[in-house]
Chain A
Amino acid sequence: AQSVTQPDIHITVSEGASLELRCNYSYGATPYLFWYVQSPGQGLQLLLKYFSGDTLVQGIKGFEAEFKRSQSSFNLRKPSVHWSDAAEYFCAVVDLYGGATNKLIFGTGTLLAVQP
């Protein structure tokens, strides 16, 4: 079965510092990958997605992610973190083994705290 692993449960960075959140997936073929962000008490907002083509994808709010097939990874990056980036971040993959449902399978999330 497909799965997504986010190894870091909690990360703290200083405002203005760079950020990298890790995501590893398990899937035999080319996956469809996503990063979502969730602010406290809110639903999930799409940051960016990878379907095919250029392995470096740009998203909203200055985020980018790089697909590396050799490492089965899709890490999220931001060069300079703002206090408003404090939230929980989820990596997800489309379940292409599940027939027509095409549901998303999520990782357990990484909670980002930003220090002033």
Chain B
Amino acid sequence: DTGVSQDPRHKITKRGQNVTFRCDPISEHNRLYWYRQTLGQGPEFLTYFQNEAQLEKSRLLSDRFSAERPKGSFSTLEIQRTEQGDSAMYLCASSPADSGANVLTFGAGSRLTVL
């Protein structure tokens, strides 16, 4: 297993365009998280999946954001009508579901730049 994979690593887009990021978690992990990290800040929680069910969404996740995990394996995060304020690193993490002491394994992130 190669850990958590994210694609693409970098995306530059023009304001108003749609972008989609993909995350492949560690295969035996059924918990999956998306975080956003802006410059000089710590990661901020966006949304959480347990298997294919999206169980929590942050208020940071506006209507332009949608996340899916259709078969409980990989996940996608789509941003519609991108704005310059969406420029950030989008981090995916996964963990096994066996305890409250939640050890997250992070991917390398997808960096979005909106021009």
**Looking across the interface, which residue of chain A has its beta carbon closest to that of B4?**
A43
B112 CB-CB contact with A under 8 Å: no
B85 CB-CB contact with A under 8 Å: no
Binary interface encoding of chain B residues 85-109 relative to chain A, with 1 for a CB under 8 A from any of its CBs, else 0: 0000001010000001111111111
Q: For residue A103, which residues in chain B have a CB less than 8 angstroms away from its CB?
A: 33, 45, 48, 56, 102
Which residues does A use to contact B, with CB under 8 Å?
4, 9, 32, 34, 36, 41-46, 49, 51, 90, 92, 94, 96, 98-109
Partner of B42 from A43, A49, A106 at Cβ < 8 Å: A106
Number of inter-chain CB pairs below 8 Å: 69
Q: For residue A46, which residues in chain B have a CB less than 8 angstroms away from its CB?
A: 103-105
Most-contacted residue by chain A among B40, B50, B111 (CB, 10 A): B40
Q: For residue B104, which residues in chain A have a CB less than 8 angstroms away from its CB?
A: 46, 104
**13 extra interchain contacts, Cβ-Cβ under 8 A, other than A90-B42, A102-B100?**
A32-B102, A42-B109, A43-B91, A44-B43, A44-B91, A45-B106, A90-B43, A94-B101, A96-B100, A100-B50, A101-B56, A108-B40, A108-B42
Most-contacted residue by chain B among A49, A92, A101, A105 (CB, 10 A): A101
Task: Establish whether residues A32 and B108, one from each chain, have CB atoms under 8 Å apart when the complex forms.
Answer: no
Q: Give the shortest distance, in Å, between B12 (CB) and chain A (any CB).
A: 15
Q: For residue B103, which residues in chain A have a CB less than 8 angstroms away from its CB?
A: 34, 46, 49
Q: For residue B93, which residues in chain A have a CB less than 8 angstroms away from its CB?
A: 44
**Looking across the interface, which residue of chain B has its beta carbon closest to that of A39?**
B108
A8 to B51, CA, bound (A): 38
Partner of B101 from A32, A44, A99 at Cβ < 8 Å: A32
* Contacts known (A44-B91, A100-B55); A49 close to B43, Cβ less than 8 A: no
**Within residues 24 to 73 of chain B, which ones have a CB less than 8 A from any CB in chain A?**
31, 33, 40-45, 48, 50, 55-56
